[in-house]
């Protein structure tokens, strides 16, 4: 197994699927000649050409709208949104069209579109460029929402997303692109809608995904040095949500901390906690703890911003509170 970065994993997934299937193409702002704002599609334009690596105007409504239309006509577009914050400019296309067209026309066609969007805070970009609104997208039936936390999952999930026939919001975290991990050399597909135990333990369960998975790994190692062994369940997909491994782990540890980067109100933690209470109330030995971003638009100032985002120390403290 090769050790590669998250950026390389995502890049490989797109490259391999474009090589495999001519119906797959990528479009978005600066995906072509520039090579991708985050360098994910570097070299693609020269290899695949401008028809399949399509630079677009800065116009998110028509980026997602045209991708929807191309999907209706049978192609398999990957539409890149430079950041997930810009998805709000395309919200009508994502929510009213990607998610709903198939049902509204009685299943006459499919919308096999993958919307890649980069999210997350912590880079001093100000409030409009730093959001983690994953739960917003997970609210809508008809969409699938995927957000990997390791290079291996990023590659396998993205390849699956491109091959399957439903609209997928594929949410990447900008601060994870340099994270390295082992990725299988052979064909590697990870199913959408399957949560995964990423670390075994017996004292408490951390339920998390994406960037917060990486922070939870660090927290888990420090807790381990104090003799506390946490189990980490990585959601990987927010919709459809696979509660199986979450409930199973909670039944074993009887304590849970849910860690997300987005805001707490109406968020991923709210959903997971409610479901745990619905499905495994009798197994709770402590109130379920939610750790999330403080309820504030993220400020530019470094310390203020970091203060608003869950840190490793916060995760450690939260785990200790449920013990």
Binding site for another protein (CB under 8 A): 25, 51, 54, 56-57, 59, 61-62, 64-75, 77, 92-93, 96-97, 101-110, 141-142, 144, 164-166, 192, 240
The helix or strand, by DSSP H or E, that contains position 121, with its residue range, turns out to be none
The helix or strand, by DSSP H or E, that contains position 24, with its residue range, turns out to be strand 24-28
The helix or strand, by DSSP H or E, that contains position 238, with its residue range, turns out to be strand 237-239
Provide the β-strand partners of residue 199: 232
Minimum distance, C-beta of residue 20 to another protein, in the bound complex (Å)? 17
Q: Give the integer Cα–Cα distance in Å for 278 and 251.
A: 13
Roughly how many angstroms between the first and final C-alpha of the chain, as a whole number?
A: 37
Minimum distance, C-beta of residue 156 to another protein, in the bound complex (Å)? 16
Q: Give the integer Cα–Cα distance in Å for 98 and 87.
A: 13
Tokens 């999330």 sit on residue: 292
Minimum distance, C-beta of residue 170 to another protein, in the bound complex (Å)? 15
Q: How distant, in Å, are the alpha carbons of 149, 272, 287 from that of 242?
A: 16, 10, 22
Question: Helix or strand or coil: residue 236?
Answer: coil
Q: Give the integer Cα–Cα distance in Å for 168 and 115.
A: 6
Minimum distance, C-beta of residue 297 to another protein, in the bound complex (Å)? 24
- Smaller CB separation from another protein, 97 or 255: 97
**DSSP annotation of 73:** T
Minimum distance, C-beta of residue 109 to another protein, in the bound complex (Å)? 6
Q: Give the integer Cα–Cα distance in Å for 190 and 194.
A: 8
Contact criterion met (CB below 8 Å) for 277 and 246: no
**Radius of gyration of the chain from Cα atoms?**
19
Minimum distance, C-beta of residue 120 to another protein, in the bound complex (Å)? 27
Contact criterion met (CB below 8 Å) for 17 and 162: yes
Annotated catalytic residues are: 60, 129
């Amino acid at each position: 197994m090769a050790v590669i970065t998250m950026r390389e994993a995502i890049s490989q997934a797109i490259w391999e699927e474009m090589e495999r299937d001519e119906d797959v193409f990528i479009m978005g702002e600066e995906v072509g000649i520039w090579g991708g704002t985050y360098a994910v599609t570097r070299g693609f334009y020269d290899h695949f050409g401008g028809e399949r690596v399509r630079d677009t105007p800065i116009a998110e409504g028509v980026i997602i709208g045209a991708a929807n239309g191309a999907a209706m006509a049978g192609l398999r577009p990957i539409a890149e949104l430079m950041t997930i914050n810009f998805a709000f400019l395309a919200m009508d296309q994502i929510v009213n069209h990607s998610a709903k067209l198939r049902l509204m026309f009685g299943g006459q066609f499919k919308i096999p579109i993958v919307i890649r969007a980069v999210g997350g805070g912590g880079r001093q970009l100000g409030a409009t460029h730093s959001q983690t609104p994953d739960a917003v997208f997970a609210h809508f039936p008809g969409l699938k929402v995927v957000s990997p936390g390791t290079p291996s999952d990023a590659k396998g999930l993205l390849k699956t997303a491109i091959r399957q026939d439903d609209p997928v919001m594929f949410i990447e975290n900008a601060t994870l692109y340099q994270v390295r991990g082992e990725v299988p050399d052979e064909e590697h597909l990870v199913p959408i809608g399957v949560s995964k135990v990423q670390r075994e333990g017996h004292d408490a369960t951390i339920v998390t995904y994406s960037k917060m998975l990486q922070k939870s790994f660090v927290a888990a190692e420090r807790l381990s040095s104090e003799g506390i062994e946490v189990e980490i369940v990585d959601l990987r997909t927010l919709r459809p949500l696979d509660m199986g491994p979450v409930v199973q782990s909670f039944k074993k540890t009887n304590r849970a901390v849910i860690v997300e980067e987005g805001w707490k109100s109406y968020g991923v933690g709210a959903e997971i906690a409610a479901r745990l209470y619905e499905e495994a109330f009798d197994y709770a030995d402590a109130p379920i703890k939610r750790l999330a971003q403080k309820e504030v638009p993220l400020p530019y100032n470094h310390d203020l911003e970091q203060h608003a985002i869950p840190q490793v120390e916060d995760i450690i403290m939260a785990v200790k509170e449920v013990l």
